[in-house]
Amino acid sequence: MKALLASWAMLISAGMPLLGQAPARLPRTPDAKPDLNGIWQALNTASWDLEDHTGALHTPPGQSVVEGGEIPYRPEAVAKKAQNFAGREKYDLAEAACYLPGVPRAMYMPYPFEIIQTPKLIEMNFSFAHARRNIIGDGTPHPDGFPDFWMGDSRGRWEGDVLVVDVKNLDERTWLDHAGDYHSDALHVVERYTMIDPTHIQYEATLEDPKVFTRPWKINMTLYKILDKNAKILEYECVYYLQDEKYGNAKPVVVSK
Amino acid sequence: MKTIATVTLAFVTAILVNAQEQKWVAPRTSDDHPDMQGAWARRGTRIQEANGLVSPLGEFSSTGQPYPTIFNTGVATALDRATLAVQKTGVVDPADRVLPWRPEADAARREFILHMIPPASLKYVEPTARCVLPGPVDGDDRSPFFIIQRPGSFVLAYEYNHVTRVIYTDGRPHVGKKLRFFMGDSIGRWEGDTLVVDTTNFNDKTSLAQTIPYHSEELHTAERFTRVSPNLIEYQLTLEDPKLFTKPIRVAGYFAAAPKDTEPMEFACAEGSQTLPNVFGIEFAPTR
């Protein structure tokens, strides 16, 4: 009977996070934080379009990951977004040039990434373009006078069991998705990583950019842990593939001295 | 007699100092391996041959290397010069640094590098100038390296071009033979207090040195990381490439402690490089 009760208790506690109640038993690091180490991937179509979108050739359909459904663009920014959309095959630099995809887009590119977690430094190693995020967690603020980075400057802290990452200094050339959703150099992202059970992280990011949006807005999605045996992050070195395509048959214009 | 006494004393002192040095035991990780975590400066791992071959890339830097220098003036180390001066660096085997080239492979690369400046076509462009992953030897040592250890893996994160090597030590085998990577597939194991890393599955698209512009897919490397003092990790890299060399070659270097507050910064390369657009007169990515 006792054993039966215990197994019930386990079942109930395992089911609880889905009911929004007490958290499941999470794996923990030696410093008692939720252990996020492992390989993760978003399983959605946000990288094609954060908002609702019907399927099209090379575009899998998907529902909006934006809280409230739509991105609150300033009136004058709507035209720019439409212009971006029209020119997306050429101007979406993550797709067209394999450039670093920026934050938050790196988190929902359709490629896996690995979290490498230590008490004061969390590294994220992405398959796409061997991108990496260095999340500094030693309590230091964003330094003054830094330039903009393709992947931004990330500073992390724990609020209880939630990893909160503050991201600034983001290069305005990155887009938020392939549909031309964009931001300026004033973008400020606050991410919240909530491990809801050993194999799922609820990922939420708040985007604030008064030059482009009328108010801060949120995206919300699940990150899934890759459990396949011996899974590892493999190189997707697409800059090289693209260089081969662009210059493979080209003749140099540089002449000998 | 006095001389003998002095010599003996010096000898005894040397033994004592030696014993003291050997007594140092690296701090341990939770899984009881030497703890090498932190920020490091890599030095000395270059392959420089004693054969008089002149690098064609000496001139290349004047046409614009992709490396940003504004934020990367070089990571300092906490170690004093005297300690570093005695560290072995560069090619240590063969001792005379004359590499055991297969004659036909040596001739082929000598012919190859004649076409590198200016590059005759894309295949003659120096790989690091393409901003791709640098392979087993290259990487900009002005940038710091970061070591993170977890039970079952050892992570070497270069600031340079955001290279991240996750070296599993959990007993898993190498990936399948068909898979090919710029950085190869690395598997680690502990031999006592030394981490030994075996790497296979290389592609043939990276260089080993400015005068060794490529290697074959049969390249196989073994690396050894040994933390010998609070501020020093001794490093050895053995390279075997039966298509290039008749014997393995061995390179020594070290990782010296970087200042404690060293943070990894972003080293974006492809995003800023104009090397290929300049060489071919074709833009890589649109600017607007």
Confidence grade of residue B60 (pLDDT, cut at 50, 70, 90) = very low
Indicate the range of A167-181, A232-246, B34-48 predicted with least confidence. Answer: B34-48
For residue B4, pLDDT beyond 70: no
ipTM of this predicted complex?
Answer: 0.89
Which residues from A are below 8 Å from B119, CB to CB? Answer: 252, 254
How many interface pairs between A and B have CB atoms less than 8 angstroms apart?
128
The pLDDT of residue B288 is 59
Confidence grade of residue A23 (pLDDT, cut at 50, 70, 90) = low
CB-based contact A237 B133, cutoff 8 Å: yes
The pLDDT of residue B18 is 55
Which residues from A are below 8 Å from B37, CB to CB? Answer: 118
Confidence grade of residue B142 (pLDDT, cut at 50, 70, 90) = confident
For residue B44, pLDDT beyond 90: no
* Separation in Å, CA of B85 to nearest CA in chain A: 32
| Residues A162-179: tens digit of each pLDDT | 999 999 999 999 999 999
Tell me the average pLDDT across B181-206: 98
Average pLDDT, chain A: 92
DSSP state of A26: P
The pLDDT of residue B140 is 76
CB-based contact A253 B279, cutoff 8 Å: yes
The pLDDT of residue A256 is 55
CB-based contact B182 A237, cutoff 8 Å: yes
* Separation in Å, CA of B157 to nearest CA in chain A: 9
Q: CA nearest B138: which of B227, B212, B219, B222?
A: B212
CB-based contact B280 A247, cutoff 8 Å: yes
CB-nearest partner of A235 from B133, B162, B265: B133
Q: CA nearest B143: which of B284, B247, B39?
A: B39
Average pLDDT, chain B: 86
Query: Which distant-in-sequence residues (6+ apart) come within 8 Å of A17 by Cβ?
Result: A23, A24, A196, A197
CB-based contact A125 B278, cutoff 8 Å: no
Q: Which one of A239, A242, A249 makes the best mutation probe of the B interface by having the most chain B beta carbons within 10 Å?
A: A239
For residue A61, pLDDT beyond 80: yes
Confidence grade of residue A36 (pLDDT, cut at 50, 70, 90) = very high
Q: Which one of B271, B274, B279, B280 makes the best mutation probe of the A interface by having the most chain A beta carbons within 10 Å?
A: B271
The pLDDT of residue A144 is 86
CB-based contact A91 B266, cutoff 8 Å: no
Confidence grade of residue B57 (pLDDT, cut at 50, 70, 90) = low
For residue B122, pLDDT beyond 80: yes
| Residues A189-207: tens digit of each pLDDT | 999 999 999 999 999 999 9
The pLDDT of residue B50 is 87
* Separation in Å, CA of B167 to nearest CA in chain A: 10
Confidence grade of residue A145 (pLDDT, cut at 50, 70, 90) = confident
* Separation in Å, CA of A6 to nearest CA in chain B: 31
Q: Which one of A99, A116, A255 makes the best mutation probe of the B interface by having the most chain B beta carbons within 10 Å?
A: A116
Which residues from B are below 8 Å from A154, CB to CB? Answer: none
For residue B258, pLDDT beyond 70: yes
CB-based contact B150 A116, cutoff 8 Å: yes
CB-nearest partner of A97 from B130, B162, B284: B284
For residue A104, pLDDT beyond 90: yes
CB-based contact B132 A256, cutoff 8 Å: no
For residue B119, pLDDT beyond 80: yes
Which residues from A are below 8 Å from B175, CB to CB? Answer: 230, 232, 234
CB-based contact B131 A239, cutoff 8 Å: yes
Dist. CA B78–CA B8, nearest whole Å: 34
Dist. CA B170–CA A188, nearest whole Å: 39
Percent of chain A with pLDDT over 90: 87
Confidence grade of residue B82 (pLDDT, cut at 50, 70, 90) = confident
For residue B84, pLDDT beyond 60: yes
The pLDDT of residue A15 is 42
The pLDDT of residue B21 is 54
Which residues from A are below 8 Å from B122, CB to CB? Answer: 243-244, 247-248, 250
For residue B160, pLDDT beyond 60: yes
For residue A52, pLDDT beyond 70: yes
Which residues from A are below 8 Å from B285, CB to CB? Answer: 93, 96-97, 99
CB-nearest partner of B118 from A125, A239, A256: A256
Q: CA nearest A99: which of B140, B288, B268?
A: B268
CB-based contact A149 B30, cutoff 8 Å: no
The pLDDT of residue B10 is 47
Percent of chain B with pLDDT over 70: 84
CB neighbours (10 Å) of residue B77?
A: 23
- The pairing of beta strand A153-159 with beta strand A132-136: parallel
3-class DSSP assignment, residue A22: coil
| Residues B211-249: tens digit of each pLDDT | 899 999 999 999 999 999 999 999 999 999 999 999 999
* Separation in Å, CA of A53 to nearest CA in chain B: 26
Question: Which has more confidence, B58 or A208?
Answer: A208
CB-based contact A250 B120, cutoff 8 Å: no
Question: Which has more confidence, B36 or A18?
Answer: B36
* Separation in Å, CA of A239 to nearest CA in chain B: 7
Percent of chain B with pLDDT over 90: 67
Confidence grade of residue A12 (pLDDT, cut at 50, 70, 90) = very low
For residue B277, pLDDT beyond 50: yes
CB-nearest partner of A246 from B131, B162, B284: B284
Dist. CA A245–CA A150, nearest whole Å: 24
Which residues from B are below 8 Å from A137, CB to CB? Answer: none
The pLDDT of residue A11 is 41
* Separation in Å, CA of A60 to nearest CA in chain B: 25
Rounded to whole angstroms, what are the CA distances from A27 to A35, A117, B236?
5, 13, 36
For residue B75, pLDDT beyond 70: yes
